[in-house]
């Protein structure tokens, strides 16, 4: 993880660099089309649950560092729900 802090206390973007590899003698296994994301909470014990719809629920929602509103800004229910998640 890298982030520069300048003399005027301004900061650069945060960069996360990950080196992925498969365990094994030759590391020739390939995998594709993973949906990578960063979530607000660490993955909990539910990461091992076999049912896909309930796996990693403890991780919460996808982290949005800029708090960009991606939904309908007139939808009051979404805005109210975000007030209590930070």
- For residue 74, is it within any domain? yes
Does residue 31 belong to any structural domain of this protein? no
DSSP assignment of 18-71: ------SSS------------BSS---GGGG-S-GGGTTGGG-SBP-TT----S
> Within a domain: residue 9?
no
pLDDT in tens, 9-50: 998 888 888 877 666 677 677 777 777 778 888 777 777 777
HSE, side-chain direction, 13 A CA sphere, residue 42: 2
76: confidence class by pLDDT, cuts 50, 70, 90: low
Residue 5 token pair: 């802090």
Q: What is the pTM of this model?
A: 0.42
Instruction: Please give the tally of structural domains in the chain.
Output: 1
- The answer to whether position 75 is within a domain reads yes
- pLDDT score recorded for residue 7: 93
The boundaries of the domain holding residue 60 are 36-85
């Amino acid at each position: 993880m890298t982030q520069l802090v300048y003399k005027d206390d301004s900061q650069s973007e945060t960069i996360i660099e990950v080196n992925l590899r498969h365990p094994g003698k030759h590391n020739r296994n390939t995998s594709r089309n993973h949906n990578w994301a960063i979530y607000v909470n660490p993955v909990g014990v539910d990461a091992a649950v076999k049912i896909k719809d309930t796996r990693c629920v403890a991780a919460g929602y996808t982290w949005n560092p800029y708090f960009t509103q991606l939904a309908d800004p007139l939808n009051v229910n979404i805005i109210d729900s975000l007030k209590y998640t930070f």
